A = this chain, B = another copy of it.
Amino acid sequence: MQGLMMDTPLLVSSLLTHADYNHADTDIVSRRVEGDIHRYTYGEAAARARQMANALTAAGLKPGERAATLAWNGYRHFELYYAISGIGSVMHTINPRLHPEQVAWIVNHAEDRILFFDATFAPIVDAIADKCPTVQHWVAMSDPDKMPELKNVSATSYEDFMAGQPTEYEWPVLDENTAACLCYTSGTTGNPKGILYSHRSLVLHTYGACLPDAFGVTAMDVVLPVVPMFHVNAWSLPYVGALGGVKLVFPGPKLDGESLYELFESEGVTISAGVPTVWQLVLQHLQKNKLQLSTLKRMTVGGSACPPALMETFEKEFGVRLEHAWGMTEMSPLGTYNHLKAKHQKLSEDEQFQVRIKQGRAVFGVEMKIVDENGKRQPQDGKSTGDLHVRGPWIIKQYFKKDESPLIDGWFPTGDVGHIDPDGYLTITDRTKDVIKSGGEWIGSIDLENIAMSHPAVATAACIAAKHEKWDERPLLLVQLKEGQSATKEDLLKHYEGKIAKWWTPDDILFVDGLPLGATGKVQKNKLRDEYGEHLLGKS
């Protein structure tokens, strides 16, 4: 027997409509590529998104067809998020940090019809224009009088593209399983793979992301997403903002510590979100200039594990709480978020901190399990370590244009290794491919890196599995020291004493000038393995 409630589909457009009706005069502030600060409201954003919907339709973009962006976080990007998905087409965000060859490959794979780009990325457009035959319109997200110079293609300005279109538009009532957004992962090997989100998955994910034990935003908040809108929809914050009626502050191209600090203070930002590297930059700026943060309360840290030392400094010196979240592009991205429970209130600050450095608890909607090499579910005891598998309504079942299923028994294997404690807190100890298998036992590289980074002289560190005659693999640590600081191999090895089991201690430590980073800012360990993977051979 079926229930008798309304068959209202979950649609991305309803988020903006909700903001338009309930938060019409709440601000959206953007630092523009043009250099100035732009300020308008959800009411105006909704009107311009409707105008853009008419413009896209007039330009011939059809339901199901893809329109792409190469853009920073800003109000025009925000409008496109809603306009493109809203008319039933697919919003395709491209990571501009990829090599132009890869961008072209992605545009062709997605068969993008329109490509919107910030002036900053004109060189990419010039480089790919003649390799992308599916693109019918190139639109620069610029004022008409601030158009970038292009050699190989003629582009329209965003404002001209939608000029003359009415701001009235009735968002279509789509099937909620209609594709809404497309985002490619830049894997370390092979071609990028496309993840095709549906209206349903995005709206459900937004409900989950807004929960008090996740981002927990209210109409009192001012949120600055540092995480880029080309990176898994900025962790859904452009949707979260509309649902919660929060003031959004978009930082545009300026992601240095000084520029972010300036916006935090001038706009009264209460919550921000980004990868640890960004918070490191902000911290350096604060410390160098002896500044304080007057309104910021919480920062969500994701993308990679946050060095505990960074969390501690922000909390003790600046009164800002860093909160761990964990997810993947294949998960929209939110899997877990770290908030304490009532039972933790009895613990000492230090004991609470030991809970808070875990990746967090599953957001309702996500189920997790740890399995061993045979796929057998492991106990949830905070110790049994294995592969992490997930499932839920905002988790991928298939990659775009790929026939084979990535699932195992209906679960998505994340490629992460970790354990889950009886309170549901996940700890990621490694990537499946980065785990160090020493004499049949697993060593987690992340723990070893965190300890290294807690040494005052260390800027960053990476631990890889190096081949070993006797133990098959042993940990090798690569360290980049802070400018002007020094430490010896012996200093660092001593720093491990008492912090881990002795046999986990790295066999050797090499000092390097920098670590190779991928397009999303993560250390490319495969490159390190290629270079240093045989370093220990013939030494023991």
A4 touches B396 (CB 8 A): yes
Which one of B5, B14, B423 lies within 8 Å of A197 (CB-CB)? B5
Q: Which of A1-42 contact B (CB under 8 A)?
A: 1-8, 10, 14-15, 17-18, 21-26
A361 touches B22 (CB 8 A): yes
A3 touches B198 (CB 8 A): yes
Of A306-314, A336-344, A518-526, the one with at least 4 CB within 8 A of chain B = A336-344
Q: Which of A190-218 contact B (CB under 8 A)?
A: 195-201, 204, 207-208, 210-213, 216-218
A213 touches B208 (CB 8 A): no
A340 touches B220 (CB 8 A): yes
B217 touches A212 (CB 8 A): yes
Of A227-235, A241-249, A317-325, the one with at least 4 CB within 8 A of chain B = A241-249
A25 touches B197 (CB 8 A): no
A3 touches B219 (CB 8 A): no
Contacts of A380 in B (CB 8 A): 21
Contacts of A396 in B (CB 8 A): 4-6
A5 touches B345 (CB 8 A): no
In the bound complex, how far is the Cα of B422 from the Cα of A213, in angstroms?
A: 30
Number of interface residues of A (CB under 8 A): 79
Chain B residue nearest to A342 (CB atoms) is B220
In the bound complex, how far is the Cα of B17 from the Cα of A138, in angstroms?
A: 49
In the bound complex, how far is the Cα of B393 from the Cα of A332, in angstroms?
A: 22
Interface string of A397-438 (1 = CB under 8 A from B): 111100000000010100000000011100000000000000
Indicate whether A55 reaches chain B with its CB closer than 8 angstroms.
no
A342 touches B222 (CB 8 A): yes
B362 touches A397 (CB 8 A): no
Indicate whether A70 reaches chain B with its CB closer than 8 angstroms.
no
In the bound complex, how far is the Cα of B8 from the Cα of A412, in angstroms?
A: 13
Contacts of A218 in B (CB 8 A): 212-213, 216, 339
In the bound complex, how far is the Cα of B208 from the Cα of A82, in angstroms?
A: 21
B243 touches A364 (CB 8 A): yes
Contacts of A196 in B (CB 8 A): 1, 3-5
B362 touches A18 (CB 8 A): yes
Q: Which of A361-414 contact B (CB under 8 A)?
A: 361-362, 364, 367, 380, 391-400, 410, 412
Indicate whether A179 reaches chain B with its CB closer than 8 angstroms.
yes
Contacts of A87 in B (CB 8 A): none
Contacts of A199 in B (CB 8 A): 3
In the bound complex, how far is the Cα of B63 from the Cα of A221, in angstroms?
A: 45
A395 touches B6 (CB 8 A): yes
Indicate whether A64 reaches chain B with its CB closer than 8 angstroms.
yes
A219 touches B208 (CB 8 A): no
Indicate whether A177 reaches chain B with its CB closer than 8 angstroms.
yes
Indicate whether A180 reaches chain B with its CB closer than 8 angstroms.
yes
Contacts of A18 in B (CB 8 A): 362, 364, 367
Minimum distance in angstroms from A165 CB to a CB of chain B: 24
Which one of B63, B221, B397 lies within 8 Å of A5 (CB-CB)? B397
In the bound complex, how far is the Cα of B221 from the Cα of A339, in angstroms?
A: 12
Contacts of A361 in B (CB 8 A): 22, 219, 245
Also in contact, A1 and B90, with CB within 8 A (given A6-B393, A364-B18): yes
Chain B residue nearest to A345 (CB atoms) is B220
Contacts of A398 in B (CB 8 A): 4
Indicate whether A93 reaches chain B with its CB closer than 8 angstroms.
no
B424 touches A5 (CB 8 A): no
Indicate whether A329 reaches chain B with its CB closer than 8 angstroms.
no
Chain B residue nearest to A246 (CB atoms) is B342
In the bound complex, how far is the Cα of B364 from the Cα of A233, in angstroms?
A: 20
Which one of B6, B219, B367, B397 lies within 8 Å of A341 (CB-CB)? B219
Also in contact, A400 and B4, with CB within 8 A (given A21-B362, A219-B342): yes
Indicate whether A178 reaches chain B with its CB closer than 8 angstroms.
yes
Minimum distance in angstroms from A272 CB to a CB of chain B: 16
Also in contact, A7 and B397, with CB within 8 A (given A26-B341, A220-B342, A342-B222): yes
Also in contact, A219 and B213, with CB within 8 A (given A21-B362, A199-B3): yes
Q: Which of A60-77 contact B (CB under 8 A)?
A: 63-64
Q: Taking A4-B195, A6-B393 as given, write out 5 further A-B residue pairs in contact, using a Cβ cutoff of 8 Å, ordered by the A residue number.
A: A4-B399, A5-B201, A6-B410, A21-B362, A211-B244
6 pairs of A and B residues whose beta carbons are closest in the complex: A3-B198, A22-B424, A1-B64, A207-B207, A5-B201, A219-B341
Q: List 18 A-B residue pairs with CB atoms under 8 Å apart, sorted by A's residue number.
A: A2-B175, A3-B201, A5-B393, A5-B394, A5-B397, A6-B396, A10-B393, A15-B364, A22-B361, A22-B423, A23-B424, A25-B422, A207-B207, A210-B211, A211-B211, A212-B216, A213-B219, A218-B339
Q: Which residues of A contact B (CB under 8 A)?
A: 1-8, 10, 14-15, 17-18, 21-26, 63-64, 90, 175, 177-180, 195-201, 204, 207-208, 210-213, 216-222, 243-245, 247, 332, 339-343, 345, 361-362, 364, 367, 380, 391-400, 410, 412, 422-424
